């Protein structure tokens, strides 16, 4: 096993002038130090033949570089041994009001909730076609301001809206998303449209496939109006034709990588959108823009038809203006088509009323104590106590769960493999950023992560998953300041679901957020508890002034 570390380093020798056997032996010995190893000359000599043989295998592999969608045939399962995934789905009665009226001020329609819009459509106070045209007009009016649209799918949207109206006339009503416009992060494939992944090397790419999440939403009657911006290859908010803006401050980026999804939702350009997260890409733009974002349990939404960045970390979830909206959207996108080895079906038994007498709620005391006494996060705890919740103080075990940074090893190694072709063809030179902290350099550096260290990082991850489940076993919800400590890395590695929701504004007038962490496959509890907070406060009901006309 000692020679595993040279999987990458021997490639360097291919570009060096011819060298003697002794030079090669010395090179192996010297490169070993980069991997915290110390080989003798004799050990290095013994390795040389095997290293050279491996190099010949690599050369043959590289004659046919794998496409991004070629599956990795091993699936990460976040549940510990003995964990029973809930499968008994109960009927959910969505609260669609019967008395919703069209607003006197037409702009108010832009910020109606999904249940309100569903009420208008179901009760035929507005057609899906009229509603779709309304949101397409807003996308055309404000899309360039926010730099949030990659492709406007107007023709498709009008077709789907007309069909929604025809179905309703026939007595076919598919549920609360019937006829509701929405947007997709542009790493999901839709037949007949470009899927650009936000980056120049792929800006004209058309994938002849419908992504699972798009198919699920189409079956629910939702209307796709736009494919929205993402930071190049799912990083940050800069893409090949723009820099997606925060609706509250147009001088500031919306964060990423679900940049356009969060910006468009908060600005009222669409009722809801779909984002993805590998390490913060739903949470961060939701925090920055003041959206309510759900990052579900790993593997609860099939990723077929989506760009792969990291097989064991990528997740799909809704970005909305309320927890109730997120619950509705999640219900209709969860599940699997059998094409994603990491995806499963599970029950989502959401109820709109949080039962604080029986819900077990905790807060990360060590994170809260690091905040100032007048921080907005403390007021969140006060609000929950006023609603009758008992809050237990717990210590979020950063050091014991996460003593060293394994997420970068896992993420970068998998991303480097997913974009092997991009690096080897030098098309990475076309990517929008070329600084050392962006993908081209990250992908190159990933070549030097030994397979042994990647595997061992995942073995440490197994311990982390066990520890995180041990922490959560006595609680249904754990409240944490969004970016405190290492919880974002830990919960992404462990696959636990979170809701990030707005809780007010800082002194600069920019949104602040809180994060609710749930047990594996229990998105229902955190969404119910988030809705309770939003029913008692108005933070998620405030909208940026510029987009109110």
Q: What span, in angstroms and rounded, lies between the C-alpha atoms of 371 and 380?
A: 13
Digit-coded pLDDT (tens) for 75-106: 999 999 999 999 999 999 999 999 999 999 99
The answer to whether the beta carbons of residues 160 and 296 sit under 8 Å apart is no
Q: What span, in angstroms and rounded, lies between the C-alpha atoms of 221 and 121?
A: 12
Q: What does the pLDDT read at residue 15?
A: 42
- Average per-residue pLDDT for the chain: 95
- What is the CATH topology of the domain spanning 110-398+460-547? Amidase signature (AS) enzymes (3.90.1300)
Q: What does the pLDDT read at residue 549?
A: 86
Residues in CB range of 75: below 8 A, 6 or more apart: 299, 341, 342
Task: Count the Cβ atoms, other than its own, within 10 Å of residue 504.
Answer: 17
Q: What does the pLDDT read at residue 18?
A: 53
Return the CA Rg of the chain.
Answer: 24
Q: From the centroid of its chain, how far is CA 542?
A: 24
Question: Taking residues 387-406, what's their average pLDDT?
Answer: 97
Q: Positive or negative CA dihedral for 470, 474, 477, 478?
A: negative
- Is a pLDDT exceeding 90 seen at residue 8? no
Report which DSSP code applies to 90: P
Digit-coded pLDDT (tens) for 329-355: 999 999 999 999 999 999 999 999 999
DSSP letters along 313-342, please?
T-EEEEEESSHHHHHHHHHHH-B--S--TT
Residue ranges of domains in the chain: 1-64, 110-398+460-547
Pairing of strands 477-481, 361-364: parallel
Angle (CA) 415-419-424 rounded to 5° is: 130
The answer to whether the beta carbons of residues 321 and 292 sit under 8 Å apart is yes
């Amino acid at each position: 096993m000692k020679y595993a570390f040279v999987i990458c380093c021997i490639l360097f020798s291919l570009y060096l002038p011819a060298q003697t056997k002794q030079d090669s032996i010395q090179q192996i010995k010297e490169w070993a130090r980069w991997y915290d190893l110390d080989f003798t000359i004799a050990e290095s000599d013994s390795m040389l033949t095997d290293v050279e043989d491996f190099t010949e295998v690599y050369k043959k592999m590289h004659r046919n570089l794998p496409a991004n969608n070629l599956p990795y045939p091993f699936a990460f399962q976040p549940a510990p041994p003995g964990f029973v995934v809930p499968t008994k789905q109960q009927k959910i009665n969505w609260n669609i009001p019967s008395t919703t009226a069209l607003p006197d001020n037409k702009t108010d329609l832009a910020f109606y909730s999904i249940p309100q819009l569903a009420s208008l459509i179901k009760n035929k106070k507005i057609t899906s076609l009229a509603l779709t045209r309304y949101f397409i007009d807003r996308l055309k009016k404000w899309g360039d301001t926010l730099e949030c649209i990659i492709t406007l799918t107007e023709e498709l949207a009008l077709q789907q809206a007309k069909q929604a109206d025809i179905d309703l006339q026939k007595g076919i009503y598919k549920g609360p998303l019937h006829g509701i416009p929405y947007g997709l992060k542009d790493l999901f494939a839709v037949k007949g449209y470009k899927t650009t992944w936000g980056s120049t090397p792929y800006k004209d790419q058309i994938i002849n496939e419908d992504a699972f999440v798009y198919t699920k939403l189409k079956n629910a009657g939702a209307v796709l109006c736009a494919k929205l911006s993402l930071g190049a290859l799912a990083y940050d908010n800069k893409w090949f034709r723009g820099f997606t803006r925060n609706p509250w401050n147009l001088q500031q980026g919306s964060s990423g990588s679900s940049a356009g999804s969060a910006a468009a939702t908060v600005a009222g350009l669409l009722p809801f959108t779909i984002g993805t997260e590998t390490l913060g890409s739903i949470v961060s733009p939701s925090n920055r823009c003041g959206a309510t974002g759900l990052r579900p349990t790993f593997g609860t939404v099939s990723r077929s038809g989506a760009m792969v960045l990291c097989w064991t970390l990528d997740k799909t979830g809704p970005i909305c203006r309320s927890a109730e909206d997120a619950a509705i959207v999640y219900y209709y996108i969860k599940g699997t088509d059998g094409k994603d080895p990491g995806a499963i079906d599970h029950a989502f038994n959401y109820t709109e009323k949080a039962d604080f007498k029986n819900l077990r709620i905790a807060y990360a005391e060590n994170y809260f104590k690091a905040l100032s006494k007048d921080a907005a996060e403390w007021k969140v705890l006060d609000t929950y106590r006023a609603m009758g919740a008992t809050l237990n103080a717990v210590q979020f075990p950063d050091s014991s769960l996460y003593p060293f940074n394994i997420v970068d090893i896992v993420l970068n190694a998998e991303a480097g493999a997913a974009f092997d072709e991009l690096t080897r063809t030098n098309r990475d030179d076309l990517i929008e950023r070329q600084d050392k902290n962006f993908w081209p350099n990250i992908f190159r550096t990933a070549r030097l992560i030994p397979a042994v260290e990647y595997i061992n990082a995942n073995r440490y991850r197994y311990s982390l998953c066990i520890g995180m489940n041990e922490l959560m076993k006595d609680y249904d919800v754990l409240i944490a300041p969004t970016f405190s400590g290492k919880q974002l890395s830990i919960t992404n590695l462990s696959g636990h679901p979170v809701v990030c929701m707005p809780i007010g504004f800082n002194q600069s007038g920019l949104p602040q957020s809180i994060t609710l962490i749930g047990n594996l496959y229990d998105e229902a509890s955190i969404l119910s508890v988030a809705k309770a907070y939003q029913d008692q406060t108005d933070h998620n009901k405030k909208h940026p002034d510029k987009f109110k006309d």
